[in-house]
Structure formats: C-alpha cells, structure tokens
Amino acid sequence: MQNGAQNTPDVAGRLIGLVRVVVGGQVFDLTVQSMSFEKDGSGTAGGFFAKDGQLGILVDDAATAPEVKAQIERGTEEAVRHLSRRFLN
C-alpha cells in the first residue's frame, strides 16, 4: 500500500493490535492486521486502508519485526494524512 488510503477488496487479516490516532480532537482506533501479500516486486506491502467505513493498517505476516514496525509507522502516517484531509478541510 502506498501514498494514502488504499481500498482493499478483503480485509480479513489476523488482528495483532491497535493504533490510536487523534486528528482535530477526534479519536480513531485503527486495527493492525497481519496478512500475506504477493511478492511481485512492485511496491511495499502493508500500510493504511479505508474500506466500507473500516480503517486500519495492514502488515505483511512474512516481515521481520523491524519491517513490521516500519509498516505500522508508515501506515500511521498515511492514516493521519488521510484523516486530516477528510476532517480538517
């Protein structure tokens, strides 16, 4: 997932935690889910998603702990940008 919210067809990963984001005084709890990604070399797995009112972060279940941490950080940054555009404009 890259550059902002992604529309993911099926979001059915394994729940591994939550990230709380506060934007403009509103609190959003984002699920962090682990799932398999196809390795086609065209981008980085993981990131923020928004689908049918559900918000969350996906991480690659084959990633190492430092890679998962980086994916969560990147997904959180994407979520803040998405939510800021949506609620502060």
Q: What are the pLDDT tens digits along the chain (89 aa)?
A: 333 444 444 567 789 999 999 999 999 999 999 998 776 655 566 789 998 888 999 999 999 999 999 999 999 999 999 999 988 87
Q: Look at residue 43 in the predicted model and tell me its pLDDT.
A: 57
Asked if residue 40 belongs to a domain, the reply is: yes
Instruction: Give the span between the Cα atoms of 10 and 79, in whole angstroms.
Output: 18
In sequence order, the β-bridge partners of residue 26 are 23
Instruction: Give the span between the Cα atoms of 21 and 10, in whole angstroms.
Output: 23
Q: Where are the beta strands (DSSP E) in the chain?
A: 14-23, 26-35, 47-51, 54-60
CA-CA distances (angstroms) from residue 65 to 4, 18, 34, 68, 84?
A: 23, 16, 12, 5, 28
Q: Look at residue 60 in the predicted model and tell me its pLDDT.
A: 92
Q: Look at residue 2 in the predicted model and tell me its pLDDT.
A: 39
Asked if residue 73 belongs to a domain, the reply is: yes
Domain total for the chain? 1
Asked if residue 5 belongs to a domain, the reply is: no
Q: Look at residue 4 in the predicted model and tell me its pLDDT.
A: 44
Q: Which domain holds residue 28?
A: 14-88
Asked if residue 59 belongs to a domain, the reply is: yes
Asked if residue 38 belongs to a domain, the reply is: yes
